[in-house]
Structure 1
Amino acid sequence: MRKLSVPVAVNLLLGIPAVVPLFLAWYILANGPLAAIGWTSQDPNENDGMLLWLVIAAPVFCLFGLVWGLANSWLRRRTPVRASRYWPVCATASLVPFFVIFGLF
């Protein structure tokens, strides 16, 4: 497990700015498809449509995905752990700050 300490630390730090794209994804889902099937209630002030949110969220998703992917592919080559163990641990470490901030643990 010591071999994964640096990638986990980097992914915990990357998880802090990941709060923004994760929140945007939840907001789009909660006010769009999940509200349409009745799983959530749509915000009554959200009457601009989903295109505006996609225009705002798409660059945020792409930028964070690019940074996360490049950092982890660089770290993956330097970490002597199987990929089947590396990627789930790093993805979970990136999600931890979002769940801590929004109290979902």
Structure 2
Amino acid sequence: MRKSLPESLPTVLGVNLLLGVPGVVPVWLLSYFAVNWPLKALGWTVGEPTENDGMLPWLLVGGPVLLLFGLVWWLANRPLRRGSALVPRVYWPVGVLMTLVPSFAFVIVL
């Protein structure tokens, strides 16, 4: 049986930051969905005037993209968490925030 060394904090941060680069797409999909349906229904946003396709594109495109990214993120972080010296209540929020850093940077730049 191979015994692995505990993962260091820079490794955890780096892996989640790299996962955040393709993670820009699911974050954009979630924001687009929120602006055009629930927030528009509440009257908080105006939304895209030509967006009248309904929910089928979200089930065919958005759902699998979100599911695939969530699965890849979880499968990458589960072994890292087991080998990490961080406690779970610190590890998971740090992992999520580091994954969102590229999306935040993209929003700030644009």
TM-score (norm 2): 0.88
Runs of 4+ in 1 over 4 A off after TM superposition: none
In structure 2, what is the Cα distance between the partners aligned to 1:33 and 1:84?
30
Secondary structure of the residue that 1:103 maps to in structure 2? helix
Residue 32 of structure 2 is aligned to residue 27 of structure 1: yes
Residue 88 of structure 2 is aligned to residue 45 of structure 1: no
**Once the 2 structures are TM-superposed, how far is the Cα of residue 85 of structure 1 from its aligned partner?**
1.0
Secondary structure of the residue that 1:88 maps to in structure 2? helix
**Once the 2 structures are TM-superposed, how far is the Cα of residue 97 of structure 1 from its aligned partner?**
0.3
TM-score (norm 1): 0.92
Amino acid in the other structure paired with 2:54: G
Aligned to 1:67: 72
> How many positions carry a matched residue from both structures?
103
Residue 45 of structure 2 is aligned to residue 78 of structure 1: no
Contact (CA 8 Å) 1:4, 1:86: kept in 2 or not?
no
Aligned identity (percent) is 50
Match of 1:101 among 79, 102, 106: 106
Larger radius of gyration: 2
Moved more, 77-86 or 66-75: 77-86
Q: Which runs of 5 or more residues in structure 2 are unaligned?
A: 1-6
**Cα root mean square deviation, aligned:** 1.5
Aligned to 2:97: 92
Secondary structure of the residue that 2:8 maps to in structure 1? helix
